[in-house]
């Protein structure tokens, strides 16, 4: 399988996915929106069989390495996650302090006008850029990519310093979200 090839999410496979906010709007620069994502991921872990092996919330997108336990299907869990978080974050933008409220809502409203599935606002880009994990080497390439994303962006000097990432989990440092650790391989950043 070629790296970077878009795939559909299939039941009970492990995938590297990327969920991106429309127009790459920097929504996740606000703590309340990041916390809404974490809260929803925790719910999906507890109630929808979601297994998270690695994740990172960046300013306008989220990377994850995930699968689900039976009888849950990953495509359904991700669909529900995106639907819930879009409503939750839109509500936060509308009802909580946000200096960019009008500008952001206008962008999301404009995106909804071009969508048959969205009435008022469209928050997430369509698709998840899902790539099925096919080998241990590819798994670790993706985990390291996920954890190094905030380092490459210049936000932190070490991946485990990024609060909204599983890099700290792999360094046995306290984290805001528990993940399923893969193997005993030493992870370097």
Euclidean distance between CA atoms 71 and 48, whole angstroms: 9
pLDDT tens, position by position, 68-99? 999 999 999 999 999 999 999 999 999 998 89
Residues 132, 14 contacting (CB under 8 angstroms): yes
Domains, the chain, with CATH or none: 15-170 (3.30.70.1290)
pLDDT, residue 1, reads 39
Q: Of all residues in the chain, what percent carry a pLDDT higher than 90?
A: 81
Residues 146, 56 contacting (CB under 8 angstroms): yes
Query: If pLDDT is split at 50, 70 and 90, which confidence band does 188 have?
Result: very low
Contacts of 115 (CB under 8 A, 6+ apart): 122
User: Of the given ranges (2-6, 8-12, 32-36, 181-185), which has the lowest mean pLDDT?
Assistant: 2-6
In this model, does residue 143 exceed pLDDT 80?
A: yes
CA nearest 11: which of 88, 62, 78, 63? 78
pTM for this entry: 0.90
Query: If pLDDT is split at 50, 70 and 90, which confidence band does 11 have?
Result: low
Report residue 146: phi and psi, to 5°. Answer: -60, -50
Cis peptide before 114, with omega less than 30 degrees from 0? no
In this model, does residue 6 exceed pLDDT 60?
A: no
Q: How far apart are the first and last CA of the chain?
A: 26
Do strands 131-132 and 15-20 pair parallel, antiparallel, or not at all (unpaired)?
antiparallel
């Amino acid at each position: 399988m070629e790296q970077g090839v878009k795939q559909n999410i299939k039941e009970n496979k492990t995938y590297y996915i990327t969920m991106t906010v429309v127009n790459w709007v920097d929504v996740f620069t606000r703590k309340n929106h990041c916390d809404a994502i974490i809260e929803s991921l925790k719910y999906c872990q507890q109630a929808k069989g979601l297994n998270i092996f690695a994740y990172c919330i960046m300013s306008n997108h989220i990377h994850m390495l995930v699968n689900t336990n039976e009888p849950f299907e990953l495509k359904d869990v991700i669909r529900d996650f995106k639907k819930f978080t879009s409503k939750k974050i839109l509500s936060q933008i509308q009802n909580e302090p946000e200096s960019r409220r009008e500008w952001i809502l206008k962008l999301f409203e404009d995106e909804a006008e071009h969508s048959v599935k969205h009435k008022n606002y469209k928050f997430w880009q369509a698709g998840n850029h899902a790539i099925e994990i096919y080998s241990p080497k590819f798994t670790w390439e993706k985990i390291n990519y996920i954890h190094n994303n905030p380092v490459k962006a210049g936000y932190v000097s070490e991946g485990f310093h990024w609060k909204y990432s599983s890099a700290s989990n792999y360094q046995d440092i306290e984290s805001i979200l528990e993940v399923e650790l893969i193997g005993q391989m030493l992870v370097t950043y």
